[in-house]
Amino acid sequence: LFYWIKLGMRVWRALCVLSQSVILVVLLIPQQGNAHPQCLDYKPPFLPPEPLLFCKEYAKFGCCDLDRDNRISQRFYQIMDYFDQTGFMTCGKYIRSILCQECSPYAAHLYDAEDANTPMRELPGLCRNYCEDFWLHCRYTLSLLIDNNETHAIEEDRSKFCKYLELKDPEYCYPNVLSNAELNADLGDVKADPQGCIRLCLEEVANGLRNPVAMVHANDGTHRFFVAEQLGYVWTYLANGSRIDRPFLNLTRAVLTSPWAGDERGLLCIALHPRFTKVKKAYVYYSVSVKKQEKIRISEFLVSDSDMNMLDHSSERTLLEVDEPASNHNGGQLLFGLDGYLYIFIGDGGKAGDPFGKFGNSQNKSTLLGKVLRIDVDNNDYGAPYSIPPDNPFVGERDARPEIYAYGVRNMWRCSIDRGDPVSAQGRGRMLCGDVGQNKYEEVDLIEKGGNYGWRAKEGFSCYDKKLCTNSSLNDILPIFAYPHKIGKSVTGGYIYRGCQMPNLNGLYIFGDFMSGRLMSLKENPETGKWSYKEICMGADKTCSFPKLINSYYKYIISFGEDEAGELFFLATGAASATARAGVVYKIVDPSRRAPPGKCNFKPTPVNIKGKLIHFSPKEATTVRPSTPQPRALHTTPRPRPPSLTTPRPAYWTTANTQTGRPGKRGRGKPRRKGERRGRSRAGTARLVSADGHKDRGRVEIFVRGEWGTVCDDMFNIQAAAVVCRQMGFPVALRVAKRAELGGGGVGVRILLDDVECEGTERTLLHCKHAKLGKNNCSHDEDVGVVCGHYEHAVE
């Protein structure tokens, strides 16, 4: 018995030591940070296009461009005009640092403004030690920095003072945020988890689609995009996300498909002529049955003379038909190269292992199956529907079809053309494709003229048919990347990102897998030509905590697409059936960095609409959920509102020193206050006046100098509306209502603002450019109104 007791005690001590070791190891493991840079406009920070001159510490990365930097500088010197030289030297450093936190990449955290539905602080949150130092030397500057009737009581009490400026999250308080290694590591770079998975977010832009198989744009300045459904419809979407209720194309009567999941037949692709503004033609790739023979048909359509958003269905002209020996491996890609020729990607004919003939269809140049074709569709209004480019690689070769551009492909699904680097144009014109494998590997290929891509001799980098694989005449081109079926079993080719809005993603090839739902990326090393792989995963809720962003998607990734500006999208569904309305279009978003404000702006060419518009309404819950703004506690600050640059300076001058004792009334030791506030409303407060009681829309009224008045609609734009909507607790302005559409001011109501010009990031209309207060050249017939919402394309 004694032996067993001793043995038990030894085991117990060993377990205790082991558990302590495990705890220690866990504590020593570096924890992955949840840093979330965000600006006061609820968007990621950026690299300023020009060096900042005042808030220089944020010149490399932050939330200010040169214009905003200048305005902060002006405000600083306005405030410092209240001080003598001693006060300037003592308090200037504090005031400058506090004002410049608007430029911090963590400005939204410093101002408690991560949620677009709740009011922001007037001042950034300060760390306790720094706050006490600020109070000790410059406590009486608070009334110059904020608009609050109770500043006198706050200034006199250090505890109240620092409680007022306290930040809920101490990690982000100033100045500790500057020295926090976790928050500042790789700031502005694409974020990755400990396994190297790139963290991105998504924005839902379209939904309710039936297996959306393709997305293309017109490249005509309208910024429309078109989404094709496998069932046979193509829909037109406008730049604002609205969909036209009548289809651009309806081929449902001709398209061969079925409701069963996994059917590869149907409307598979659409391509618009590269000179669509002049050559109003579209090309369509779809499955048909002709006398019980399944075929691939490539057709050309003309745009309707009476409706720019509809094809003339009677204009269909068949360019090419290819017999399909089986119902799968139909290929399905059309695209135009930079050479102006139409490229057609056709599968190997179906069944397993390309069993047709001695070498299979893909290695047989006398058939179009398993090939990349290139044809010339210009100048084809009369005679043959297409011609052969004279430099096609197999022109003149005996028994070879002259349309062939490359061969040895199995079932290429989704290809794209690289737009090239925006600055150097490197990579421009490259063609990349995903080729679906047999039973071991999926691959991504870089298409070259005359290239043999190995199937059925090879699958990925490995041999599939050993006899063909060892044939010295194969001379095949290896993929730039291949992955085994434990990662995914059906590659969906993507695009190299070349858009404007997310500079960190430039040069990144983003693609996916239909079966596993994985998003993946490849990046080329320009010196070696090698491509490195990283998986893409969704950021956590906090990472994607921006208006309209989500961090989940439906599993079955069907296709990728670009819009006219080069931004990247993918199309996925939750039910892989041609009749299930479970398809969604997602925009890919990098939450770590954006382009500078204004750089990516465009003005779409007007679109003549016939029929009705269906406004977009997202189905997925965003990580920022709309909520009713809650009243803030008395000790907190309402929505931030820095002093207006147009505020008149006092006619008198006072001096300040830094004594810590309480000074006499209106005596030395503190700057003169800016005057008593009248009533509870503060200058710059806005409200919406609506006859029917709507809280999200109405005539804009602003409180200035003790009275409410209206705003004239001259120069008032959607950016100005955004300023008003944020004050109302709405993250998005949907539209501006001019000419007193939402009601004009009555008798006794003055027009207080005119010629208002905003950038959209200001805190009130008083911080926008505007005519002199109370001066205008308009009447109440021009009173402006706004319509606000929680989503940009909400139905009004």
pLDDT tens-digit readout, 238-279: 999 999 999 999 999 999 999 998 899 999 999 999 999 999
pLDDT at residue 530 greater than cutoff 60: yes
CB distance 642 to 259 below 8 Å: no
- Nearest 5°: CA angle at 688, between 683 and 689? 115
- What CA–CA distance (Å, rounded) separates 691 from 699? 9
Q: Over the range 589-602, which residues count as b (16 or more CB within 10 Å of their CB) and which as e?
A: bbbbbbbbbeebee
- Structure letter (DSSP) for residue 454: -
Summarised one tens digit per residue, pLDDT across range 5-60 is 444 555 445 544 444 443 333 333 334 445 689 999 889 999 999 999 999 999 99
pLDDT category at 561 given cuts 50, 70, 90 is very high
- Structure letter (DSSP) for residue 469: H
* Residue position matching structure tokens 């409307």: 267
pLDDT category at 161 given cuts 50, 70, 90 is very high
pLDDT at residue 132 greater than cutoff 50: yes
CB distance 785 to 697 below 8 Å: yes
Report helix, strand and coil shares of the chain as percent, to nearest 5: 15, 25, 55
158 token code pair: 């250090």
pLDDT category at 708 given cuts 50, 70, 90 is very high
pLDDT at residue 793 greater than cutoff 70: no
Residue 39 has phi, psi (to 5 degrees) of: -95, 175
What separation, in Å, do the N-terminal and C-terminal C-alpha atoms of the chain show? 83
- What CA–CA distance (Å, rounded) separates 38 from 36? 6
Mean pLDDT of 620-628: 55
> So what's the pLDDT on residue 18?
45
pLDDT category at 146 given cuts 50, 70, 90 is confident
pLDDT at residue 649 greater than cutoff 50: no
Torsion angle (degrees, nearest 10) of CA 410, 415, 421, 422: 170
CB distance 140 to 152 below 8 Å: no
- Which percentage of the chain shows pLDDT scores above 70? 87
Is this prediction's pTM over 0.85? no
Q: Which residue segments constitute the domains of the chain, with CATH numbers given?
A: 35-188+644-677 (no CATH), 198-614 (2.120.10.30), 686-789 (3.10.250.10)
pLDDT at residue 695 greater than cutoff 90: no
CB distance 781 to 744 below 8 Å: yes
Q: What is the DSSP string of 116-144?
A: TTSPPPSS--B-HHHHHHHHHHHGGGHHH
Closest CA to 474 of 449, 446, 453: 453
Spatial CB neighbours of 521, under 8 Å, sequence gap ≥ 6: 198, 508, 509, 510, 511, 533, 534, 535, 536
Element (H, E) at 466: helix 466-469
- Which percentage of the chain shows pLDDT scores above 90? 70
- Compute how many other C-beta atoms are within 10 angstroms of the C-beta atom of residue 738: 15
- Compute how many other C-beta atoms are within 10 angstroms of the C-beta atom of residue 275: 14
Closest CA to 498 of 423, 579, 594: 423
Mean pLDDT of 156-174: 91
> So what's the pLDDT on residue 225?
98
- What CA–CA distance (Å, rounded) separates 789 from 640? 21
Strand 404-407, strand 613-614: pairing: unpaired
Query: Radius of gyration of the chain from Cα atoms?
Result: 32
Helices and strands in the chain: count of H runs, count of E runs: 12, 35
- What CA–CA distance (Å, rounded) separates 139 from 663? 12
Beta strands in 394-518 (DSSP E): 404-407, 412-417, 431-435, 441-446, 458-459, 462-463, 481-484, 491-496, 508-513
> So what's the pLDDT on residue 755?
93
Q: Over the range 511-541, which residues count as b (16 or more CB within 10 Å of their CB) and which as e?
A: bbbbbbebbbbbbbeeeeeebeebebbbbbe
> So what's the pLDDT on residue 294?
97
Higher pLDDT, 595 or 672: 595
Residue 397 has phi, psi (to 5 degrees) of: -80, 135
Sign of CA dihedral 77, 80, 81, 84: negative
pLDDT category at 761 given cuts 50, 70, 90 is confident
Whats the size of the chain, residue-wise? 796
- What CA–CA distance (Å, rounded) separates 188 from 348? 45
> So what's the pLDDT on residue 182?
87
CB distance 763 to 640 below 8 Å: yes
Average pLDDT, the chain: 87
CA 702 to chain centre: 33
Collapsed DSSP state (helix, strand, coil) of residue 159: helix
- What CA–CA distance (Å, rounded) separates 714 from 228? 42
- Compute how many other C-beta atoms are within 10 angstroms of the C-beta atom of residue 336: 18
Torsion angle (degrees, nearest 10) of CA 590, 591, 597, 599: -10
Torsion angle (degrees, nearest 10) of CA 491, 497, 501, 503: 120
Summarised one tens digit per residue, pLDDT across range 188-219 is 888 888 888 999 999 999 999 999 999 999 99
> So what's the pLDDT on residue 328?
93
Spatial CB neighbours of 134, under 8 Å, sequence gap ≥ 6: 94, 126, 165
CB distance 240 to 791 below 8 Å: no
Q: What is the DSSP string of 170-210?
A: GGGSBTHHHH-HHHHTTTTSPPB-TT--EEEEEEEEEEEES
> So what's the pLDDT on residue 763?
80
Higher pLDDT, 730 or 589: 589
